[in-house]
């Protein structure tokens, strides 16, 4: 049986077991494509977020008066979250569209970031990822996307289990952060995280290190979201859920990349990576421990 077939079977087994035990227990796993207001709330400038298609999609707006943002109503401990996003077309320099998870615990926060950095017309869109664990971040990696993310919707996902965290773009892994606690590297596993997204101005750093400023004559700027999918252990919730090895995302098939994913991951790193904190000797004269762990 192929690894993909094993993964599909794992999901089928979880569904079967959930149905079998439904009459005996409350479901532990939140797992369904969500409409916006069922699982999310507006956190910033509700006048700049518009529902589309009966709440199955939304439009975020950035203009000179404000950006905007939203967050999940609940927090989750392990699982997978994904959204389909269509980014700002044309001249988007100085804008940042962010999709991330955050524990909302200030100095000891855990956070997993996608940040889409706007560009001048004709230049590639960059996506920056970052990982905060136990309050320590500064683990930026940046790639140039190999397609136009403003031409159509693409799926951006975060898989988070006890073994690793994987950032996916259309099922292509672009970032892997392994659990290397045995080497003294912090790993987020105790604090549940909410799911957030914002659209905002950051022209002091977002495009070419702040050299390219936002052109407000191109405003308003629009980003679009749909197919909100959350599969994980909601918190507060049953305490046994996060440690349950039967959760599909903890199965053996998800504890490391498949052979196909590994090839895709290497292709992205070799051909599209433009910044990696692991190789930035000006910031880290001694290579951080997690950078030597591989995938």
- To the query of whether residue 212 is one of the catalytic residues in this protein, the response is no
Q: Which of 111, 212, 231, 250 is catalytic?
A: 111
- To the query of whether residue 115 is one of the catalytic residues in this protein, the response is yes
Terminal CA-to-CA distance of the chain, rounded, Å?
A: 23
Is 206 within 8 Å of 214 (Cβ atoms)? no
Q: Taking Cα atoms as reference points, which of 83, 50, 49 lies closest to residue 68?
A: 49
Q: Which of 115, 231, 250, 261 is catalytic?
A: 115
Compute the distance between CA of residue 285 and CA of residue 96 in angstroms, rounded to an integer. 29
Taking the alpha carbons of 255, 262, 103, 10 in that order, is the dihedral positive or negative?
Answer: negative
Is 225 within 8 Å of 57 (Cβ atoms)? yes
Compute the distance between CA of residue 158 and CA of residue 192 in angstroms, rounded to an integer. 14
245 Cβ contact list (under 8 Å, min separation 6): none
Residues annotated as catalytic are 111, 115
């Amino acid at each position: 049986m192929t690894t993909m077939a094993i993964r599909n079977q794992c999901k089928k087994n979880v569904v079967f077991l959930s149905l079998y035990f439904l009459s005996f227990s409350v479901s532990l796993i939140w797992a369904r494509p969500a409409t916006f207001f069922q699982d999310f709330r507006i956190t910033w400038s509700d006048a700049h977020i518009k529902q589309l298609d009966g709440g199955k999609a939304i439009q975020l707006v950035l203009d000179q008066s404000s950006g905007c943002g939203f967050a999940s109503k609940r927090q989750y401990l392990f699982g997978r979250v994904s959204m389909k996003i269509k980014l700002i077309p044309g001249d988007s320099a100085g804008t940042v569209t962010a999709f991330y998870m955050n524990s909302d615990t200030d100095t000891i926060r855990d956070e997993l970031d996608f940040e889409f950095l706007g560009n001048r017309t004709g230049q590639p869109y960059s996506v920056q990822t970052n990982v905060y664990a136990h309050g320590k971040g500064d683990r930026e990696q940046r790639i140039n996307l190999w397609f136009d993310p403003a031409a159509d919707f693409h799926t951006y996902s975060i898989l988070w289990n006890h073994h690793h965290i994987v950032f996916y773009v259309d099922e292509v892994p672009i970032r892997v952060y392994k659990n290397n606690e045995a080497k003294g590297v912090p790993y987020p596993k105790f604090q549940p995280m909410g799911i957030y997204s914002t659209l905002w101005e950051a022209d002091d750093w977002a495009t070419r290190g702040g050299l390219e400023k936002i052109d407000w004559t191109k405003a308003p700027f629009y980003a679009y979201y749909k197919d909100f999918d959350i599969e994980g252990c909601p918190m507060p919730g049953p305490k046994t859920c996060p440690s349950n090895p039967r959760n599909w995302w903890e199965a053996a098939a998800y504890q490391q990349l498949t052979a196909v994913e590994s090839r895709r991951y290497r292709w992205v790193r070799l051909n599209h990576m433009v910044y990696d904190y692991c190789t930035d000797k000006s910031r880290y004269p001694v290579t951080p421990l997690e950078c030597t762990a591989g995938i």
